[in-house]
Structure 1
Amino acid sequence: MIKGVLFDLDGTLLNRDESVKMFINNQYNRLIKQVGHIPKERYVTRFIELDNRGYVWKDRVYQQLVKELGINKITWDELLHDYLSEFKNNCVPFINLIKMLEELKNLNLHLGIITNGYGQFQLDNIKALGIQKYFDVILVSEWEEMKKPHPKIFYRALEKLELLPQQSIFIGDHPENDVKAAQSVGMNTIWKKDDQWKNVHATYTVNDLSEIPFIVKNMVKKK
């Protein structure tokens, strides 16, 4: 019987692609005196390319951006500081996020988040989405000193929730870090579909967060 549901954050609950677009457009506007000599489209596009959907940390992104675009009125670490302090103000949720979490809580399930990233940065984004109150446990890789797909971070979350792997579901968008990693410890899985990946073999696949409660309700009923 399913007693708990755990989530990835970026690309699953947080629409990171849209959040990054909003942030970098706003950063350009906010720092127009320092970067305005560069066409906005070029600044925005190159940042998104270098960011590689979050898989390149921003110190490297900004160092390269400053070098390529000839930025000399602001340093790369000042741009990084702006990112760290302002990104939380640009967090875009996937549609039906709150509704989905409310429905799961009404099923008396334990809820958790396991996310890679820097601790305070990720917690600030969770708070910005207004969802911290729904979760019984939040594990961020920096604070746990391990990251997905390492099985220990999944076991740690399950231990904190007092759940066995087979009593839980993990929901995420990444085939390796989320789906395969959770499966390797014996958890059920739901893949939040991302069109850049193909042939992902999760227990279930969803396109929209609104589909999750229906799936979970059926799994809760199974003994």
Structure 2
Amino acid sequence: MDRYRDLFFDLDHTLWDFDTNSRSALQELFNDYLNPLSTDFDRFHQTYVEVNDNYWQQYRAGRVTKKVLRIGRFRDALIRFGFDDEALSWTLADQYVKRSPYQTALFPYAIETLEYLREKGYQMHIITNGFEEVQHIKLEQSGLLPFFSKVITSEMVGQRKPHERIFRRAMQEATTTPDVSIMIGDNLEADIKGAQHFGMDQVFFNPYQKAQDIRPTYVIEELRELREIL
């Protein structure tokens, strides 16, 4: 639609396939460090995902720090298998942050869709709650970086989505306004509600058909559906 000029994308779970990339990095760590565990990788992965999701909920709510999240998710997952090793937990935490951003799986049609939007003349930007030092690596390694003019992270702003401060900073960085901008993301609370409260239209990327308790401006299940909106 001609009414939009600036498109703001979330990164993890929207363009960069976090689940696939995280699993690949964890498989490497399991093979390198966790053979002594009396379990297989699938059980370890399932446990880690449960623990990690809980820590991220606490992090978004401001109840734990980045440091606590990074070490706690590995320490608590290992403890569930009777393996209480603080040194190993720190090693896994460090290695995961070093390896995961170099994984390059994207959601289907990501590159094709971004090429189409760039040809249409849209200015595109990233707003992410991910950690500053890894998000830029993800963008560069996966081939996404050239599509985006501005990358706004929660750490550079000092506030996470859905807080209005990160959206306000994004408008300033992109020299634009909410009425000609649209937010595209997978998280109803952070991306969709955050944008709604700030006065931006939204596209809810819902590839897994999650239940919705709010009404976004648009809903898509595949990124290529953006062509029908934009």
- TM beyond 0.5: yes
Quick check: 1:62 aligned with 2:64? no
Q: Taking structure 1 as reference, are residues 54 and 138 closer, same or farther at Cα in structure 2, changes over 3 Å only?
A: farther
1:39-78 aligned at under 5 Å gives the runs: 39-52=40-53, 55=56, 57-71=69-83, 72=85, 75-78=88-91
What 5-or-longer segments of structure 2 have no aligned partner? Answer: 58-68
Quick check: 1:165 aligned with 2:166? no
Aligned-partner residue type, residue 81 of structure 1: D
**Secondary structure of residue in 2 paired with 1:152:** helix
Shift of 1:11: 1.3
Cross-structure match for 2:95: 82
Shift of 1:182: 0.5
Q: Taking structure 1 as reference, are residues 100 and 143 closer, same or farther at Cα in structure 2, changes over 3 Å only?
A: same
Shift of 1:73: 9.5
Shift of 1:70: 3.4
**Secondary structure of residue in 2 paired with 1:75:** helix
Partners of 2:39 and 2:112 in 1: CA distance: 41
Quick check: 1:93 aligned with 2:94? no
Q: Taking structure 1 as reference, are residues 66 and 36 closer, same or farther at Cα in structure 2, changes over 3 Å only?
A: closer
Shift of 1:32: 4.7
TM-score (norm 2): 0.86
Quick check: 1:204 aligned with 2:218? yes
Partners of 2:34 and 2:75 in 1: CA distance: 18
Cross-structure match for 2:199: 186
**Secondary structure of residue in 2 paired with 1:163:** coil
Deviates more, 1:197-206 or 1:6-15: 197-206
Aligned-partner residue type, residue 145 of structure 2: Q
TM-score (norm 1): 0.88
Shift of 1:131: 0.6
Cross-structure match for 1:220: none
Q: Taking structure 1 as reference, are residues 63 and 108 closer, same or farther at Cα in structure 2, changes over 3 Å only?
A: same
Count of aligned pairs: 215
Cross-structure match for 2:131: 118
Q: Taking structure 1 as reference, are residues 205 and 59 closer, same or farther at Cα in structure 2, changes over 3 Å only?
A: same
